[in-house]
Amino acid sequence: DVKVTQSSRYLVKRTGEKVFLECVQDMDHENMFWYRQDPGLGLRLIYFSYDVKMKEKGDIPEGYSVSREKKERFSLILESASTNQTSMYLCAVHTKTYEQYFGPGTRLTVT
Amino acid sequence: GNSVTQMEGPVTLSEEAFLTINCTYTATGYPSLFWYVQYPGEGLQLLLKATKADDKGSNKGFEATYRKETTSFHLEKGSVQVSDSAVYFCALSERAGGTSYGKLTFGQGTILTVHP
User: CB B96 to CB A31 under 8 A?
Assistant: yes
A58 touches chain B (CB under 8 A): yes
A2 touches chain B (CB under 8 A): no
Rounded Cα distance between B89 and B75, Å, is 10
pLDDT at B94 over 80: no
pLDDT at B97 over 90: no
From the CA atom positions of chain B, what is the Rg in Å? Answer: 14
The minimum CA-CA distance between A40 and chain B, rounded to whole Å, is: 6
pLDDT at B5 over 60: yes
pLDDT of residue B95: 63
- What pairs with residue A42 in β-bridges? A38
Confidence band, pLDDT 50/70/90 cuts, at residue B98? low
**Closest CA in chain A for residue B31:** A98
pLDDT of residue B48: 96
The minimum CA-CA distance between A103 and chain B, rounded to whole Å, is: 6
Average confidence (pLDDT) over B2-29: 93
Rounded Cα distance between B6 and A108, Å, is 26
B42 touches chain A (CB under 8 A): yes
Low-confidence ranges of chain A (pLDDT < 50): none
| Chain B residues in contact with A38 (beta carbon < 8 A) | none
Q: What is the pLDDT of residues B69-92, one digit of tens each?
A: 999 999 999 999 999 999 999 999
| Chain B residues in contact with A31 (beta carbon < 8 A) | 96, 101-102
**Prior bond of B10 cis (ω within 30°):** yes
User: CB B104 to CB A48 under 8 A?
Assistant: no
pLDDT at B11 over 80: yes
Instruction: From A21, A23, A25, A18, select the one nearest A10 (Cα to Cα).
Output: A21
pLDDT of residue B99: 54
Q: What is the pLDDT of residues B27-71, one digit of tens each?
A: 887 889 999 999 988 889 999 999 889 999 999 999 999 999 999
The minimum CA-CA distance between B7 and chain A, rounded to whole Å, is: 12
Q: What is the pLDDT of residues B100-109, one digit of tens each?
A: 567 888 999 9
Instruction: From A73, A25, A40, select the one nearest B10 (Cα to Cα).
Output: A40
pLDDT of residue B102: 77
B39 touches chain A (CB under 8 A): no
